Structure 1
Amino acid sequence: MTISPITGWTRDDWTTLADRMLLAARRHASPSHARITPPGAPGGYGTDVDGLEGFARTLLLAGFRIAGERGEDPLQLLDWYAQGIATGTDPTSPERWVRPSEHGQAKVEAASIALILDVTRPWLWDALDAGVQERVVAYLAEVVGDQDYPRSNWVWFRIVVEQFLASVGGPWSLDDMEADLATHESFARAGGWYCDGVSRNYDHYAGWALHLYPILWSRMTGAEQLAAPRLPAYAERLDRFLLDAVRLVGADGSPLIQGRSLTYRFAAAAPFWVGALAGSPTLAPGLIRRAASGIVKHFADHGAPDDDGLLTLGWHHPWRPIAQRYSGPGSPYWAAKGMLGLALPADHPVWTDVEQPLPVEQADQLTVAAAPGWAVVGTHADGIVRVHNHGTDHARPGDRTGDSPLYARMAYSTATAPLLDEAGWDAPLDNSVVLLDADGRATHRTGFETLTAGEVDGAAVLASRARAHWIDPDRSVPDHGSGRPGTVLDAALITTVSIVRGAWEVRCVRVDPDGAPGWDRAVALRVGGWPVTGDQHTSVAVDLGGFEDSGTHQARDATPLGGLTSTPWLSAYQMGGWKPDGWRFVGLALNGGAQPPRIETSGSSVTVTWPDLTRTTAPLDFPLPRKDPS
């Protein structure tokens, strides 16, 4: 019996892919190996940073490969990267690395270098000349006491570097470490989730950064004293998070297409390997490998890496708009995090146990992840995982910025991508509820308030209220994935309730002018459905009460999936300014079949009869906020 009856992938497939990627990257190295700059347009931080990224991020993969082979090195990776380290830390070399004191991105890459120097200590660090070791320490020591670290997952870059420095007798600061560890604690949320900073930033960083680094740090040389009292909490959160994470993988291996840095692709497999490394009891070893192999195989089968063995800026294929402005040709190699499992030896159960099916491969799935405000729905028939979103927008409640299509849409899936062209940023359409002015300008919802997120009668019920606003965006602001700031005009309050079961969502919408200064400019309400690229899936928007017009928006090359994307929409009109007139209802589905749900309203509730005749009654009693009497 094969140990991989679902994906067909074994450890040999993983090592073959890793070696192919590493050898391909070598072809784009500088003469002394200190910089690796794959072909492509320079990133927003310049070619010096690009070259450092390429070196440090492929070093991650090389280090995992060597560690899992217990130092065996048929590709001579150790000598090759050792030469690069010697040159990169030489301040007189034209190939020298950008230093942490010179550019913030060097602080990120320094962490990968420090981590692998620790993971491969007997074979790499211990073999470096004393002079090179001194230069490495001097390079890394520039982070000590540096207060210019964003209060986000970046705190781990300093923790990891200072832990390595402490282990080799270099300078380090207990105050730095304690402060950064405390900041990490402030990110912890319900259900084992982490939020990447103070805003509602829920995305893949929860797994490939904020669960990854605590476990890796706890295993670094000398970390035990600081890590031991914290490790039980880290492990408990990881155990709980993995229950949600494994439900977010589609049967075809696709991760959820949501959040920034999607060009890191199969880095989404990292939290599963972290679970194996930590000995988490939550997921069986065979399920961990099924999830991780499925994700990596999904991309390998769709052209990433490409025919030259390189990872480009894109998803399946090159598509520059998926990246942030600062991303360069070396950036995608953070995908190496998703190959952390190679650091586990071939006799580990995660490599020897038989694969087990994903949750969506076993049965339909429905769960509510309270921290990000998501209903996670998997449908066994098509293997798609959908997320309905009333809690995440990469902002804070009350903010007035533009919607980021990566975060603020009302739904995401493993089979669809949000519209990411300029219109997608400026005028929300897919999975949105907006008001339109006479010029067709759409409002944004960022800064909304989450009202509820839970399960009722076999369905998920989520609600949020947005102070819908038009915005003239400032396009000069650096792109880190969040919506654009700008000049704002409030339009009205929009309360939206999503009742979700299987492939269908009943979206209930109420508009209240609430004295907003721009309410009289609103002439239409528009609800957008799922954006479907190609003809493999279907998307419908069905009027269940209150809408007069419908259509389908088509956009070419507007998503990283390529080709033509079609998005259905419904609209209702009130010329001369919007007036309160109660609830309106839409049925939205991705692969929902021919029979839509039906609704009945009664007072402050709505009852949905689903296509299989199951009934769900959900509340619509969400009072407006009280006015300040002043």
Structure 2
Amino acid sequence: MIYDPTKANPLSGNPLKTRDDLSKAVIDLFKPLLPYFSEGGARVRLSATGAIFDRAAADLEGFARPLWGIVPLAAGGGHFPHWNLYRRGLANGTNPAHPEYWGDLADRNQRLVELAAVGFALALVPEHIWEPLSDGEKRTVAAYLLAARELEFIDNNWKFFRVLIDLGLERVGVAFDHGKTVAYLDELEAFDLGDGWYRDGPVRRVDHYIPFAMHFYGLIYTVLARGDEARKNRFRNRAEIFAGDIRHWFGPDGAALAFGRSQTYRFAAGGFWGALAFAGVAALPWAEIKGYYMRHIRWWSAMPIADRDGVLSIGYGYPNLLMSESYNSPGSPYWALKFFLPLALPQDHPFWTAEETSQPEFPAPIALKPAGMVAMHTPGNVVVLSSGQQHDKMRDANEKYSKFAYSTRYAFNIEADDRNFSAASFDGMLGLSDDGVHFRMRETMDEAQIAGDRLYSRWRPWNDVTIETWLLPANPWHIRIHRIATPRALSTIEGGFAIERADFNADRSEHEQGRAIWYGQTDVSAIVDLSLHLRTGHAMTPIPNTNLIHAKTLLPQLRGEIGPGSTLLVTAAIALPIHENWTMALENPPAPPDLGELERHFRAEGVSVPAFTLSM
């Protein structure tokens, strides 16, 4: 049999237009898990791959994460036929005397994460998962949850997990001291950056954890918590403001911006739009909110995101361990089911009765100041220029946070071999090497500023090499300026956008002094040198399975050598769908900006990127 990618997705064939379609999607996503439940129902082990935490915690993850979709389905009146399995698993997993016990709890432990889904279930559908338990089972479950809430949670969105556990305990009448709940809520609010944005802890980054965690859980709190009206109003108000910005992380086809860690959670990225509906926050017209929401899940329905048996894989657009995090177990992808939160709403809710509208047009660049980003809507795509994000304690953090440009249509590549400079992609990035083998790129920064719709950063790939980078929108192009001060000679490679590669060498390329272009079957990608001394264009074929969306890609690059002293590199990059008027765009690249004028502009208007401004 030939592998059929449409069968590698339980959503395939579902029109995903209505509430009933989404209810069916939850069941279709859950069914492939049934053979992997343990006899006692407490553990779900989906493959032999591992994560940094123990197997029991990973098995709990496989058990708990589907609840994010199952619970709203049931709360909204949908039929889920396997509640007995979940009740049995909950009773056994929390029982230290049972062979399927989930294990003892500890500070900052993965079990604390997964128990938030149990708290959510107790809070929203206790009639299905709590009330049928025996008195002894209730005592066992309650004791486990009470022990969990007393522990230390990581200083980021994890603090919401104690809050969710507490919402469940409160709903089922289990007494506890609310002091720790309030303390964590206060600490979570201290992550507020203004303009609706949060940090995800004391860090220099704002990624998808802001919409699908910080706002998502905060909006759940506004519905399920008793009292605390002032705080709930703050959560709602921040979400309302944030919606106007985060819509620029979604392309017109529904694709979300692939940026940051935990991309394997896939359509959890669209959960923010559903959380707005759940909390009744009409941040935008319901028709627009629904459009962002439904287009997103339809985009995912066309991707080969599951294994042959329909189990969601670790990966993004296809199974791919290379891009995964150390904390991604086989059950991790099922956080994607957070997307289905609005199934808890009745059919006649205005979110469900609204007719979808398409994404509005945004002809001008959009500054997302708190994040240090500038969004640029191009045909079929949103390009986001970025300076002010970093994560120095994660594999592939350079690629996930520190590239110059990210895109909803052209996802980023990760580097597969850091000892093969000539085989590196450097899409949306400048790579440098002082030995022709090993390489460096932007990872952490000394400074990050935004001035209107322009960005600046100063970074050091080595302690004795300083690079200043300016990023400018020039729709549909963008411009990068790099001023490099180095005491020794360096080799450089700079990449454009990665596009899908066809079989049988059906794509064609052009590469010459000063530019490189790939003409793919669906898209065109080009990079042009605007420097005084031109680099050599190179039509690069990246290592397979390094791009998040496409297993095989094409990438235009500029390659050159620089000597000791100060060097100025100026680059323009573009990618467009093949059906767009790409010929005119390629024939009219932008002119190089005046660097002196640009520096004066930043001296007059530049401010530190809020996400970056943090005492480390």
Contact 1:491 1:522 in 2 (8 A): no
Aligned to 2:495: 528
**1:391 corresponds to which letter in structure 2?**
G
Correspondence for 1:476 = none
* Partner AA of 1:182 in structure 2: D
1:316-331 correspondence runs (5 A): 316-331=317-332
Match for 1:12 among 17, 20, 30? 20
For residues 178 and 306 of structure 1, the distance between their equivalents in structure 2, rounded to whole angstroms, comes to 42
Distance 2:56 2:200 in 1: 27
Contact 1:49 / 1:98 at 8 angstroms: preserved in 2? Answer: yes
Aligned mates of 1:192, 1:163 — CA distance in 2: 24
What letter corresponds to residue 511 of structure 1 in structure 2? Answer: I
Q: Is the 8 A contact 2:365 2:473 kept in 1?
A: no
CA contact (8 A) 2:430 2:495 kept: yes
Asked if 1:589 is matched to 2:609, the reply is no
Shift of 1:424: 6.6
Report SS of the residue matched to 1:540: strand
Q: Helix, strand or coil for the counterpart of 2:264? A: helix
Structure 1 stretch displaced more, 289-298 or 42-51: 42-51
Correspondence for 1:438 = 435
Partner of 1:565: 553
How much has 1:286 moved relative to structure 2? 2.0
Q: Is the 8 A contact 1:530 1:567 kept in 2?
A: yes
CA distance in 2, matches of 1:376, 1:208: 20
Question: Is 2:467 the counterpart of 1:466?
Answer: no
Note the alpha carbon deviations across 1:269-299, whole angstroms, 9 max, x for none: 1110111122222222222222122111211
Tell me what 1:605 maps to. Answer: 597
Pick which of 438-447 and 107-116 moved more.
438-447
**Deviation digits for residues 30-70 of structure 1 (CA, Å, limit 9, x no counterpart):** 1122112224524342432222111111122211110011x
Q: Which runs of 5+ in 1 are unaligned?
A: 1-6, 470-489, 513-518, 608-616, 624-630
**2:451·2:601 contact (CA, 8 Å) conserved in 1?**
no
1:172 matched to which residue of 2? 176
1:293-333 Cα deviation digits (max 9, x unpaired):
21112112223345533211122321112221221111111
TM-score by length of 2: 0.85
Give the alignment partner of residue 448 of structure 1, picking from 441, 445, 449: 445
SS at match of 1:189: strand
Spell out the pairing of 1:248-397 with structure 2 (5 A cutoff): 248-305=249-306, 308-359=309-360, 362-364=361-363, 366-379=365-378, 381=379, 383-394=380-391
Indicate yes or no: 2:436 matched with 1:501: no
Q: Does the aligned pair in 2 maintain the 1:525–1:573 contact within 8 Å?
A: yes
Assess if the C-alpha contact under 8 Å between 2:123 and 2:169 holds in 1.
Answer: no
In the other structure, the counterpart of 1:552 is 539
SS class of match (1:605): helix
**Counterparts in 2 of 1:25 and 1:365: CA distance versus 1, 3 Å:** farther
SS at match of 1:332: helix
Contact 1:550-1:568 at 8 Å conserved across structures:
yes
8 Å CA contact retained: 2:74, 2:344: yes
- Is contact 1:604-1:619 (8 Å) kept? no
Q: Deviations over 1:144-182 (max 9, x none)?
A: 3323x2111111111221333344443533332232112
1:552-610 CA deviation, whole Å, 9 max, x = no partner?
Answer: 332222123233323322244334xx2125x4321111226322434265571269xxx
Instruction: Say whether the 8 Å CA contact 2:126–2:172 is kept in structure 1.
Output: no
Does residue 1:151 correspond to 2:155, yes or no?
yes
Per-residue CA shift, 1:370-427, capped at 9, x if unaligned?
1110111112x3x1111110111125xxx99985211111111112222224337996
Contact 2:197 2:242 in 1 (8 A): yes
2:194 aligned with 1:190: yes
The equivalent residue for 2:143 is 138
Q: 1-side partners of 2:394 and 2:117: how far apart?
A: 36
Task: Tell me, yes or no, if the aligned pair for 1:392 and 1:408 is still in contact at 8 Å.
Answer: yes
> Which residue number in structure 1 is paired with residue 403 of structure 2?
409
* Bigger Cα displacement from structure 2, 598-607 vs 257-266: 598-607
Q: Distance in 2 between matches of 1:401 and 1:466?
A: 19
Instruction: State the alpha-carbon separation in 1 of the partners of residues 180 and 493 from structure 2.
Output: 50
Sequence identity, in percent?
26
The answer as to whether partners of 1:191 and 1:241 remain within 8 angstroms in 2 is yes
Between the aligned partners of 2:17 and 2:191, the Cα distance in structure 1 is 35
**Is 1:400–1:447's contact at 8 Å kept on the other side of the alignment?**
no
Separation in structure 1 between the aligned mates of residue 181 and residue 89 of structure 2, nearest angstrom: 29
Give secondary structure in 2 for the equivalent of 1:465. strand
Could you tell me whether the CA contact under 8 Å between 1:201 and 1:392 is conserved in 2?
A: yes
SS of match in other structure, 2:198:
coil
Quote the Cα distance in structure 2 between the aligned partners of 1:62 and 1:403. 33
Native 8 Å contact 1:402 1:445 kept in 2? no
CA distance in 2, matches of 1:101, 1:140: 12
Q: 1:241 to 1:425 in 2, by over 3 A?
A: farther
RMSD over aligned Cα atoms: 2.9
CA distance in 1, matches of 2:189, 2:163: 13
Q: Residue 109 of structure 2 aligns with which residue? A: 104
Secondary structure of 2:230 counterpart: coil
Change (3 A) 1:549 1:303: closer
Q: Distance in 2 between matches of 1:462 and 1:229?
A: 36
User: Residue 68 of structure 2: which of 60, 72, 93 is its match?
Assistant: 60
Contact 1:145 1:173 in 2 (8 A): no
Structure 1 position 506, deviation (Å): 1.5
Q: Provide the rounded CA distance (Å) in 2 between the counterparts of 1:264 and 1:365.
A: 31
In structure 1, the partner of 2:11 is none
Whether contact under 8 Å (2:122, 2:171) holds in the other structure is no
Give ranges in structure 2 of 5+ residues lacking alignment.
1-14, 502-519, 577-581, 607-616
How far, CA to CA, are the matches of 1:619 and 1:569 in structure 2?
29
Q: What is aligned with 2:122?
A: 117
8 Å Cα contact 1:402/1:425 also seen in 2:
no
How many residues are aligned here?
Answer: 563
Deviation at 1:436, TM superposition (A): 2.5
Give 1:363 deviation, angstroms: 5.0
Which of these residues, 523, 529, 537, is aligned with residue 523 of structure 2? 537
d(CA) in 2 for partners of 1:296 and 1:400?
28
Letter in 2 for 1:412: Y
Equivalent of 1:88, from 89, 93, 96? 93
In the aligned structure 1, how far is the partner of 2:464 from the partner of 2:298?
46
User: Higher relative CO (CA 8 A, sep ≥ 6), structure 1 or 2?
Assistant: 2
Given that residues 385 and 413 in structure 1 are in contact (C-alpha distance below 8 angstroms), is that contact kept between their aligned partners in structure 2? yes
3-state SS of paired residue (1:552): strand
SS in 2 for 1:31: coil
1:201 Cα deviation (Å)?
A: 2.1
Query: d(CA) in 2 for partners of 1:305 and 1:365?
Result: 38
> Which residue, 224, 227, 233 being the options, matches 2:226?
224
- Cα 1:332–1:552 change in 2 (3 A) is same
What is the Cα deviation at residue 495 of structure 1?
0.8
Amino acid at match of 1:386: V
Indicate the SS of the match to 2:126.
Answer: coil
Residue 418, structure 1, aligned to residue 426, structure 2:
no
- CA displacement at 1:355 relative to structure 2: 0.6
